[in-house]
Amino acid sequence: MLCEIARNLDGDRLDTVKTLEHDLGLTLVAFSCRSLEPAREAKLQKMMEEFGAQLQAPPAEPDDVQLDRIRAAEQELGVSLVAVQA
């Protein structure tokens, strides 16, 4: 699976993420993910291991209520959201 920072968030979707951040008191990073064929997946994984971690922010520790809201937003927006300490 290939995930990258979501660049396709239009105004309404971006506003949804910003509102959720404000409501939860967390910083969220949105990722767009897609599946790759297995051979390409293995090649990409090797390249990523050589580059190292790209997101340097430490993860936040949302509670169960916050996680439920994040999951609901992920379903609504079609992106993966990661809560980080900022």
Residue spans of the domains in the chain: they are 2-84
| Phi–psi pair at 29, nearest 5 degrees | -115, 125
Helices (H), the chain: 11-24, 38-51, 64-77
pLDDT reported for residue 54: 66
- On the question of pLDDT at 45 being above 80, the answer is no
Stated pTM of the model: 0.76
For residue range 58-73, list pLDDT tens digits in order.
889 999 999 999 999 9
Angle subtended at Cα 79 by Cα 38 and Cα 61, rounded to the nearest 5 degrees: 100
Q: What are phi and psi of 54, to 5 degrees?
A: -95, -30
